[in-house]
Amino acid sequence: MLTISATDPRLTWSGTISLESDANSTKPWRIPHQDQDIYSPGVSALAGRAEMPSGVRVRFATAATELTIVCEAFAEDGNFDLVIDNEIIATTAFVAGDSEVRFADLPTGDKTLEIWLSPAMPVAVRHIALPDGSDIAASQDTRLKWVTYGSSITHCRTAGSPATTWPGVAARGKNLNLTSLGFGGQCHADPLIARLIRDLPADFLSAKIGINIYGAASLSPRSFRPAVLGTIATIRDGHPDIPLAICSPIWGHDRETTPNTVGLTLQQMRIEVQEAVESYKKRGDDKLYYVDGLKLFDESLTEYLPDNLHPDAQGYQIMGENFLKEIFEVQGVKIG
């Protein structure tokens, strides 16, 4: 048995912001883990979401037809996907307490594999085991880079499998190198997340802002639009001329017309997000796009919204397909 350490330089940890390693394992993070006290201060729960590897893949090339990824014991039930050329080749489920995920009967010959980790819990990888006589090689991801930011609806903990989150569906459909900054309950137009996006390499950016702010009443009618404007301005400091799509909330049932404790409704928030985008567009930003969240998921899809807030597995698939259509067909966004 060939054992490949999680720290082996031939492994690419796509979709990560930082890696936390000790003598036993490596855990991917979606913020700089050493700075979690400033990214997730006080009552913020962002760090707990950022250590869940939504959109994170372990990437390498091999001719092996089977492998086992060995992790620290899983806290919950879940699954991993194995993807080749954007196609899900296999999905392997595990239960809480398991520590190994095996993929067998893989295609023969040299190939680049991406193991998509579960978005539903922290994952710490110990090593990857392959049959004797196997080997691996580095396979750098040279695809155009897409960074997206959002709430639990972008985090997608309830997706059918890791590569079928809506960003996963869209990234595979457009052959993009995804970094997903979807943080369940924690998308509040945080200034440090805007700075993080500003400093990441990217060819295309998107942010879906509103539902967590509505739910937590973390911003008011006075402060919501300025926060969206500030997020756009900060991102544009580092990425002045690449496509940036700002999305408003998807359909939200009674939240559409019921004011939260500071007086915002989702209908009002969509207007505020659109106005923020228009303020920059009229100043000459012709690569800034507004996406009405109802174009991604509207009232007609409520059967796929079982808790009246989060899409189910099929809903996320539809949402990813609708994002591709709205961005690249309807609005004609060009990247690269």
Same domain, 123 and 204: no
110-131 per-position pLDDT tens digit: 999 999 999 999 999 999 999 9
Give CA 25 to chain center in angstroms.
23
pLDDT grade for 21, boundaries at 50, 70 and 90: very high
Same domain, 274 and 196: yes
Query: Nearest to residue 22, comparing CAs of 102, 122, 109, 125?
Result: 125
pLDDT of amino acid 293: 99
Dihedral-angle region of residue 308 (phi above 0 means left; psi in -120 to 50 means alpha; beta otherwise): left
C-alpha to C-alpha distance for 164 and 162, rounded to whole angstroms: 5
How many other β-carbons are positioned within 10 Å of the β-carbon of residue 219?
Answer: 23
Q: Is there a domain that residue 336 lies in?
A: no
Domain that holds residue 186: 145-330
Same domain, 116 and 219: no
Q: Which residue has the tokens 């690269």?
A: 336
Cβ 199 vs Cβ 192: under 8 Å: no
Same domain, 236 and 184: yes
290-306 per-position pLDDT tens digit: 999 999 999 999 999 99
| pTM of this structure | 0.97
CATH number, domain of 229, equals 3.40.50.1110
Mean pLDDT over the full length of the chain: 98
83-106 per-position pLDDT tens digit: 999 999 999 999 999 999 999 999
How many other β-carbons are positioned within 10 Å of the β-carbon of residue 192?
Answer: 16
pLDDT of amino acid 223: 99
182-212 per-position pLDDT tens digit: 999 999 999 999 999 999 999 999 999 999 9
pLDDT grade for 332, boundaries at 50, 70 and 90: very high
Same domain, 117 and 199: no
Q: Which residue has the tokens 């960003």?
A: 167
CATH number, domain of 83, equals 2.60.120.260
Query: Nearest to residue 197, comparing CAs of 31, 23, 78, 319?
Result: 31
32-76 per-position pLDDT tens digit: 999 999 999 999 999 999 999 999 999 999 999 999 999 999 999
Count how many domains the chain has.
2
Same domain, 73 and 201: no
